[in-house]
Amino acid sequence: MTESERTSHLDILYENQRGIMLCGVPYFSEKSLLNFDPAPWVDQHFVASPVSTKTATCPDPSWEWAWQRWYIDMSGDVDESGWQYGFSFTMNNWHGKPVSLHSFVRRRRWIRKRKKKELRRDELPLVPESFTISSSYPIQRSSTQTRSSFEDDSSDFDLSEVTTIPALLRALQDSRIDREKLEALATFLASASIDEKVYVKNCKKDLLKNFVFEHSCRKANELLNASLTAAEASTSQVALRESPTPQD
């Protein structure tokens, strides 16, 4: 297990429903699940979960939520609400577009990151200036080393990887300064589809809570609005070019 896995973890829950498509409209509910179907909520190993996104808590007091709420994983082949459709839960043939007579079940993936609680300075255990491990390796503790461990502002994510909504959320949580958060947001918007931009804009209120300073929030809001406006304008131009020209 890596150091990152010991200090943080991405919790995953799948939401399952059964239903049918009528005239192109999906009618699905967890109440329609049959006896041989999985539970309405299952964990990342597809084992029945006693909790949902509304009731899930951290496993013990040493953990706390790194993300303010659960998010729908919009990566992969999903519809605008994050659902994947299939003929049955036992078949691994999921697709984001429901097809009549071939889409009787659906599922979507929820994610939320938790992290180990950080001890405050007054909670750190007292350590002598010099101590020995196994009576043979003296380790010198200096005030300079202690300060550097608290003042390290480096972040652990790669901007080139911020291409999906979960990656963006992780970057916003892991970044320690607003400048890095703005860079992550700009990188994501540069390659995001219009559906992803709409989804992020709908979650704008929660997203902006990650920023510390008011001017950073305004800048992030401007980035979101400008990016979505440009994408919608581009889509409209494409639609106009592809529309049939009336014949005389």
Residue-wise pLDDT for 137-154, tens only, equals 343 444 434 333 333 444
* 127 and 75 part of one domain: no
pLDDT of residue 32: 94
- Whether residues 104 and 129 share a domain: the answer is no
For residue range 201-219, list pLDDT tens digits in order. Answer: 888 888 888 888 888 888 8
Neighbour count for residue 156 (Cβ, 10 Å): 12
248 found inside a domain:
no
Q: Is the pTM of this model over 0.85?
A: no
55 within a domain of the structure (yes/no): yes
| Residue 43 maps to a domain | yes
| 98 and 130 housed in the same domain | no
Phi, psi of 10 (to 5 degrees): -100, 110
Q: Is residue 172 part of a domain?
A: yes
Residues 130 and 111 in one domain: no
What is the C-alpha to C-alpha distance for residues 71 and 46, in angstroms, rounded to an integer?
A: 18
Q: Looking at the structure, do residues 165 and 145 belong to the same domain, yes or no?
A: no
Does residue 247 lie within any of the structural domains?
no
pLDDT computed for residue 153 by the predictor: 46
Residues 90 and 193 in one domain: no
Question: Phi and psi (nearest 5°) for 195?
Answer: -65, -40
Residue 35: alpha-carbon gap to chain centroid: 31
In a shared domain, residues 107 and 133: no
Provide the pLDDT for residue 6: 72
Q: Which of 60, 95, 116 is the last residue of a domain?
A: 116
According to the model, what pLDDT value does residue 133 have? 38
Residue 151 has what pLDDT? Answer: 38
State the pLDDT at residue 226: 87
**193 and 127, same structural domain?**
no
Same-domain status, 176 and 234: yes
SS (H, E, C) 182-243: HHHHHHHHHHCCHHHHHHHHHCHHHHHCCCCCHHHHHHHHHHHHHHHHHHHHHHHHHHHHHC
Structural domain harbouring 143 = 121-151
Sites in the chain below the pLDDT cut of 50: 122-154, 238
Q: Does residue 34 sit in the same domain as residue 75? A: yes
* One domain for residues 18 and 48: yes
Contact residues for 185 (Cβ-Cβ < 8 A; gap 6+): 168, 172, 220, 223, 224
**What is the model's pLDDT at position 17?**
96
As for how many domains the chain has, the answer is 3
For residue 97, the model assigns a pLDDT of: 87
The letter for the amino acid at 181 is K
Q: Tell me how far CA of residue 226 lies from CA of 14, 105, 186, 194, in angstroms.
A: 33, 37, 11, 12
State the pLDDT at residue 106.
Answer: 95
Do 108 and 207 sit in the same domain of this protein?
no
Evaluate whether residue 63 is within a structural domain: yes
